[in-house]
Amino acid sequence: MLTKKILLCATVDYHFKAFHIPLIEWLKKNGWEIHVAANGEIRLPYVDYRYSLPFVRNPIHLSNARVYRRLKEIIDKNEYNIIHCHTPVGGLLARLAARKSRLQKTRVLYTAHGFHFCKGAPLKNWFLYYPIEKILSTWTDGLITINNEDYQFAKSHRFPANKIFHVHGVGIDLNKFSPISIDQKKEYRKAYGYSLNDFLIFYGAEFNKNKNQQLIIRALNEIKEIVPNVKLLLAGEGKLQNECKELSKKLKVAHLVDFLGFRKDINKLLQISDCTVASSNREGLPVNVMEGMATGLPVIAKANRGHNELVINDQNGWVINNKEELANKLITLIQDEQLAKLLGNKSRERIEQLYSIEHVLKEQQQIYHIFQTGLEEQVWSVQ
């Protein structure tokens, strides 16, 4: 029996560690020889061969020319059955390097983890990424999108990929991210230095312009006199962290904000929290929001394609547009404990139905089955 070989390609190897280990494990159990090409030296389980290539995130950086040549050598030598690429630059270079191999029946899949061009994206993103993605889809057998807006955009703008699919993200571990009892919450809060009477708001994200933590801090300023027992937990690092600290001091809410830095206990921090918020301007399908939902928390999130797909108004939370709306919804949750509980239960149900690792893995397996068995004429997509 011939060995089935697959190349997984992304700009950095952490992408695979963070999002794709369940899929890699499934591939290994089903007899695939797995190769990975990415920047970095992280040990990835189930992988047979590693190629550490110095990808640069800027797609027009001259260093990527060397990466392209090396990637083409790897692809031409190994005669892969499937090449599955991720991230804009990983997808760009892998699809260009695989053009010859596609003539020998190698199938090329590309997962777009949120197109960089979307409603609200900077104009430069449209000028740069839209033509690149549309042209590259010419050399794509399966274009996989993780939110419905991107799926509909690719279909309506006639991206020339052979097939276009929609899967529900990368999958959330329902065992790791799960609700806990009131007694457990009380115990955990005590260990973290919080009271059961505190109302804890959680947001975990890099401190950068897009993640927009300033919006939450400004909303906190709107409610500090009304609900003095509120606490905002901000996990993450980034170049704008000090700016956010200064803003919290300026608005005199610094005593209500805990800057937690880089954390490995996000699941525990969510379990002690009362709601999760998300203030980013642009998202594909944000894992941090889904983790909060899986933990049984109501969500208040700024309107964008990823948040709009996850959060249904008055069912598991709300999408908002400004600090005033965010402040009002926070007050509503703080003052109506029963409503907060109902919204949180709906959050958990929504993740269980569509966004669990098990559900997403089944969607991915069906796509692989199509291209492994040569049934490209089949059409399969999840709406």
What are the structural domains of the chain? 4-171+357-372 (3.40.50.2000), 182-355 (3.40.50.2000)
Q: What is the pLDDT of residue 379?
A: 39
Alpha-carbon distance values, 96 to 66, 133, 225 (Å) = 13, 12, 57
Distance between CA 13 and CA 327 in Å, rounded? 39
Q: What is the pLDDT of residue 374?
A: 54
Q: What is the pLDDT of residue 118?
A: 75
Two structure tokens written together for 302: 């700024």
Residues of the chain with pLDDT under 50: 1, 375-383
The mean pLDDT value of the chain amounts to 93
Distance between CA 343 and CA 132 in Å, rounded? 40
Distance between CA 189 and CA 33 in Å, rounded? 45
Distance between CA 10 and CA 316 in Å, rounded? 33
Task: Write out pLDDT tens, residues 294-341.
Answer: 999 999 999 999 999 999 999 999 999 999 999 999 999 999 999 999
Q: What is the pLDDT of residue 84?
A: 98
Distance between CA 95 and CA 77 in Å, rounded? 16
Two structure tokens written together for 227: 């609900």
Q: What is the pLDDT of residue 124?
A: 81
**Residue 69 CB contacts under 8 Å (≥ 6 apart), including other chains:** none
Task: Write out pLDDT tens, residues 190-224.
Answer: 999 999 999 999 999 999 999 999 999 999 999 99
For residue 115, give the amino acid letter.
Answer: F
Two structure tokens written together for 327: 């402040």
Residue 62: other Cβ atoms inside 10 A: 8
DSSP single-letter state for residue 316? T
Q: What is the pLDDT of residue 373?
A: 60
Q: What is the pLDDT of residue 228?
A: 86
